Amino acid sequence: MKSMVRRREGQRDEWKWNGLEMGNNLEMNCDTGKMEEWKRGGEGDEERESKKEEMEKEEELEGPWKREEIECLSDVCQPTLSKDSKWFSSSPPMPIRRLSPNDSIRRSPAPTGPFCQAKPCTMCNNHWRNQLHGFSFFLLRQSLLLRLFWFFVICALFLLALFFSVLLIHEFFDRRVITLNTIRQVQSLHFPNISFCPKHVDTVNFAAIEKDLRLHLPHLSRHKVNQLMMFAMAGAGFQHFDAYTQLTDRSEMEELDTLFRQWRKTRSNLEFFKFFFEENGYECEQLFQSCYYGKREIPCCDLFKPNYIMLRGRCFVLRDFPQTAPDEAAKLTFYFNQMHSPFLDAEGMQRQVVAYISQNSEDFATFPRFYLNNHTWYRIRLKKRRISMLSPNPHCSSERTMERGNCYVDSWLRERVTKPFKCTIFYLAHKSPELEVCDPKVIFLNYRSVLNVVSNRSEYQNLSKCLPSCQRDIVDTQLYFHKFQHQQENFETKNPFVFHLEASYENLQVEYYEEQLTTTAPGFISQIGGQLNFFLGISLISIIQFFLIPIAKFLSGNIRKVKN
């Protein structure tokens, strides 16, 4: 068989087959499935018959032609040529030249023989039945039993897909979570806010205060001086004056209020209480004996700063200080002096030091706290946890700046002082700068109500609203102590002490507790798709083709009818 040769004449491309131009000289015979050549004029019937005989001889030499299959892909009949067909030559492939923009492309018209008729595409018209697996089996079965079988199979799978999809949707909108627990080693850990206070507030310089009192009221007796000082301390809003307020009757209280106003003179309540508790309060050196970091002694007053704790009094709180080695190698050790308590302790000396441990918040609530007894060795081991809860969450506050200690103090101040009396406590005056500091008489008359943090159900409900932060650190404490049988055991040690405390993290590690959703938005989409695909074999495109497109066609048809 001769090979096809491409030639170029002017701007027209033509094909030549055995010397015949094949540009427009081919026509498909849809009955035989063969390409038959024809020519518009020029050659007669005899010449065409001779050419046909030559082609039949070549067929006998090279084998019979295979009938070409006709597919109705659109509206015209087109041949599908097999590799064994006449149109695939065994000769070397012809060279292919890239067309330039100047070349004109001449396309042969679609075959239009008398036997070629457009046939409707059954697959295209009934594509909807293939979108749901098993639906085509249901429609194409001739047997009633098979149709019933496939009908029940499809219904059962549909119900299963619906059941599991509803469970998945319910789980997604319930925001079910799992908690991941991991432990991470760190280079250093910062100590929590540790604050130390004398148990009683009467640890001030009474000599200097009495000197100021005598300047304004020189003729007061010793008893009246003591009564007036007790009245001022109780009226400042500190605890442990319950017995004194109950023993003082109304007339004595009115007399003490008059004396207080004469003593205060032109000073405001805020200025007077700062003079009483800050200018004449105890100093850091009076509370701390010595401090150690590991085996190295460090200055205590560089570690601590003064601060007020609700109802307790003036205390000293630990500054930001890191622990860089585990346990004993970097523990903090504190030795305390025993301070005086002339009004509230029968022996005139402080028998306890109170330690508060709090997170990094501005305010300290009344808990958690530890009482350090004299001549007792105390050891606190710390462990840090970091909690990360998802928000919004009814069990935590999403406000990062709102600490739980601040919330407790603010709730107590609002419900017990500022709201009923329209004034504030002097050491919390910065929270309500628009209010005046309460007169001692107001706090003295309502002492039990002010100091009782929770006195009724409404107060408890207000405090219960103080939710912890969703992102917070928690420091767990384990307290160990040893009581010396004899004080001589303590004084025979290298550093005799009255109060003692050691604190450190046992390991430089943080436990992370992190909430994560069991079903996220991408996971929800993939699982819904998995349910539908597993049971029914459909996807979002299938749903669009199966439901939305027919609905759209129905609506558009009705709209078109209405317009017409």
Q: What is the pLDDT of residues 498-530, one digit of tens each?
A: 899 999 999 999 999 999 888 788 887 888 888
Q: What would the mean pLDDT of 88-113 be, rounded to a whole number? A: 50
Residues 115 and 151 placed together within one structural domain of the fold: no
pLDDT of residue 236: 95
| Partners of 270 in the β-ladder | none
Contact 216, 230 (CB under 8 A): no
pLDDT of residue 155: 85
pLDDT of residue 87: 43
Percent of the chain topping pLDDT 70: 70
Residues 109 and 167 placed together within one structural domain of the fold: no
Residue 340: band (very low, low, confident or very high) from pLDDT cuts 50, 70, 90: very high
Residue closest to 559 by CA, chosen among 417, 484, 551: 551
Residue closest to 228 by CA, chosen among 251, 240, 210: 210
Contact 289, 335 (CB under 8 A): yes
Whether residue 443 lies inside any domain: the answer is no
Least confident of 327-336, 356-365, 487-496: 487-496
Residues 80 and 146 placed together within one structural domain of the fold: no
Residues 492 and 387 placed together within one structural domain of the fold: yes
Whether residue 526 lies inside any domain: the answer is yes
pLDDT of residue 555: 86
Q: What are phi and psi of 258, to 5 degrees?
A: -65, -45
Residues 90 and 162 placed together within one structural domain of the fold: no
- Identify the DSSP state of 23: S
Residue 66 has pLDDT above 80, yes or no: no
Q: Pairing relation of β-strands 12-17 and 5-9?
A: antiparallel
Helix (H, G, I), strand (E, B) or coil at 373: strand
Q: What is the pLDDT of residues 224-255, one digit of tens each?
A: 999 999 999 999 999 999 999 988 999 999 99
Residues 318 and 379 placed together within one structural domain of the fold: yes
Whether residue 389 lies inside any domain: the answer is yes
**How far is Cα 121 from Cα 160, in angstroms, rounded to an integer?**
35
Residue 495 has pLDDT above 50, yes or no: yes
Residue 424 has pLDDT above 70, yes or no: yes
Residue 450 has pLDDT above 60, yes or no: yes
Residue 97 has pLDDT above 60, yes or no: no
Max avg pLDDT among 9-23, 64-78, 314-328: 314-328
Whether residue 300 lies inside any domain: the answer is yes
Segments of 53-187 assigned E as strands: 69-71, 78-80, 177-185
**How far is Cα 87 from Cα 35, in angstroms, rounded to an integer?**
9
Cα dist from 475 to 39, 357, 478, whole Å:
99, 9, 10
Residue 109 has pLDDT above 90, yes or no: no
3-state secondary structure string, 306-327? Answer: EEEECCCEEEEEECCCEECCCH
**How far is Cα 439 from Cα 205, in angstroms, rounded to an integer?**
22
pLDDT of residue 494: 55
Q: What are phi and psi of 312, to 5 degrees?
A: -90, -50
Whether residue 258 lies inside any domain: the answer is no
pLDDT of residue 16: 40
Higher pLDDT, 520 or 281: 281
Q: Which domain holds residue 530?
A: 133-176+518-544
**How far is Cα 453 from Cα 45, in angstroms, rounded to an integer?**
120
Q: What is the pLDDT of residues 43-54, one digit of tens each?
A: 455 666 776 677
- Identify the DSSP state of 391: S
Whether residue 225 lies inside any domain: the answer is no
Whether residue 549 lies inside any domain: the answer is no
> Positive or negative, the Cα torsion across 548, 552, 555, 557?
negative
**How far is Cα 280 from Cα 232, in angstroms, rounded to an integer?**
14
Helix (H, G, I), strand (E, B) or coil at 483: strand
Count of domains observed in the chain: 3
**How far is Cα 68 from Cα 165, in angstroms, rounded to an integer?**
50
Whether residue 78 lies inside any domain: the answer is yes
pLDDT of residue 64: 43
User: Which residue is listed with tokens 């609530």?
Assistant: 365
Residues 42 and 168 placed together within one structural domain of the fold: no
Residue closest to 316 by CA, chosen among 272, 349, 281: 281
- CATH assignment of the domain containing 398: 2.60.470.10
Residues 78 and 195 placed together within one structural domain of the fold: no
Residue 84 has pLDDT above 70, yes or no: no
**How far is Cα 503 from Cα 308, in angstroms, rounded to an integer?**
22
Tally of CA atoms within 13 A in the half-sphere of 450 that contains its CB: 30
Helix (H, G, I), strand (E, B) or coil at 204: strand
The neighbour count for residue 479, using CB atoms within 10 Å, is 13
Tally of CA atoms within 13 A in the half-sphere of 373 that contains its CB: 8
Residue closest to 514 by CA, chosen among 450, 453, 463, 471: 471
Residue 467 has pLDDT above 80, yes or no: yes
Q: What is the pLDDT of residues 355-412, one digit of tens each?
A: 999 877 778 888 889 999 988 999 999 999 999 998 888 888 877 656 778 888 998 9
Cα dist from 295 to 4, 70, 479, whole Å:
101, 98, 21
Least confident of 23-37, 169-183, 201-215, 282-296: 23-37
Identify the helix (H) or strand (E) that includes residue 58: helix 45-62
Residue 32 has pLDDT above 60, yes or no: no
Residue 276 has pLDDT above 60, yes or no: yes
Residues 105 and 158 placed together within one structural domain of the fold: no
Q: What would the mean pLDDT of 466-482 be, rounded to a whole number? A: 89
Residue 86 has pLDDT above 50, yes or no: no
Contact 238, 312 (CB under 8 A): yes
Residues 14 and 62 placed together within one structural domain of the fold: yes
- CATH assignment of the domain containing 530: 1.10.287.770
287 Cβ neighbours under 8 A, 6+ residues apart: 196, 198, 316, 336, 337, 339, 353
- 443-474 burial: b if 16+ Cβ within 10 Å, else e: bbbbbeebbebeeeeebeebbeebbbbbebee
Residue 127: band (very low, low, confident or very high) from pLDDT cuts 50, 70, 90: low
Residues 500 and 526 placed together within one structural domain of the fold: no
Residues 114 and 197 placed together within one structural domain of the fold: no
Residue 556 has pLDDT above 80, yes or no: yes
Residue 544: band (very low, low, confident or very high) from pLDDT cuts 50, 70, 90: confident
- 279-294 burial: b if 16+ Cβ within 10 Å, else e: ebbbeeeebbbebbbb
DSSP track, 88-123: S-SSPPPP--PPPTTPPP-PPPPP--TT------HH
